[in-house]
A and B are shown apart, each in its own frame.
Chain A
Amino acid sequence: MQDALFLLTSAVAIGTAVYVVTARNPVYAAIGLMGFFLSISGLYVLLDAAFLAAVQVIVYVGAILVLFLFVIMLLDLRAIRREPGDRSPGVIVLTGLLVALTGGLAFVPVVRGIPAGKTFAPVAPGFGSTESVALVAFTRYALPVELAGLLLLAAIVGAVALAKRRFAGEETE
Chain B
Amino acid sequence: MFTPAGVALLSGALLMIGAFGVIARRNLIIVLMSVEIMLAAGTLALAGFARMHGGERGTHGQVLVLLVMAVAAAEAAVGLAILMALYRQLRSVDSDRADRMRG
Report whether over half of chain B's contact residues are helix, strand or loop; otherwise say mixed.
Answer: helix
- Minimum CB–CB distance from B6 to chain A (whole Å) comes to 7
- Minimum CB–CB distance from B78 to chain A (whole Å) comes to 5
If the complex has contacts A14-B14, A99-B19, A120-B52, are A21 and B30 also in contact, measured as CB distance less than 8 A?
Answer: yes
If the complex has contacts A71-B80, A120-B52, are A30 and B33 also in contact, measured as CB distance less than 8 A?
Answer: yes
Q: Per a CB cutoff under 8 Å, which of A14, A47, A128 touches B13?
A: A14
Are B37 and A47 interface neighbours, CB within 8 A? no
Residues of B close to A162: CB separation below 8 A: 78, 81-82, 84-85
Are A158 and B78 interface neighbours, CB within 8 A? yes
A residues with CB within 8 A of B: 2-3, 5-7, 10, 13-14, 17-18, 20-21, 23, 26, 29-30, 33, 36-37, 40, 43-44, 46-49, 51-52, 55-56, 59-60, 63-64, 67-68, 71-72, 74-76, 79-80, 83, 86-87, 91-92, 95-96, 99-100, 102-104, 106-107, 110-111, 114, 118-121, 123-124, 127-128, 132-133, 135-137, 140-141, 144-145, 148, 151-152, 154-156, 158-163, 172-173
- Minimum CB–CB distance from B97 to chain A (whole Å) comes to 8
B residues with CB within 8 A of A: 1-10, 12-21, 23-27, 29-30, 32-34, 36-37, 40, 43-44, 47-48, 50-52, 54-56, 58-60, 62-63, 65-67, 69-78, 80-85, 87-89, 91-94
Residues of A close to B74: CB separation below 8 A: 151-152, 154-155
Give complex CA distance A60, B30 in Å: 16
If the complex has contacts A3-B2, A163-B85, are A47 and B47 also in contact, measured as CB distance less than 8 A?
Answer: yes
- Minimum CB–CB distance from A80 to chain B (whole Å) comes to 6
Give complex CA distance A86, B6 in Å: 33
Are A21 and B37 interface neighbours, CB within 8 A? yes
Are A68 and B59 interface neighbours, CB within 8 A? no
Given contacts A17-B14, A60-B73, could you give 16 more A-B pairs where the C-beta distance is less than 8 Å?
A17-B17, A26-B29, A43-B7, A48-B51, A49-B62, A63-B73, A80-B93, A83-B94, A102-B19, A121-B52, A124-B55, A127-B51, A127-B55, A133-B62, A141-B60, A151-B70
Interchain Cβ contacts under 8 Å between A and B, 23 examples? A7-B1, A21-B17, A21-B18, A21-B33, A29-B33, A33-B36, A36-B37, A47-B47, A47-B48, A49-B51, A52-B65, A59-B69, A59-B70, A59-B73, A60-B73, A68-B76, A71-B83, A86-B26, A92-B24, A107-B8, A120-B4, A148-B67, A152-B74
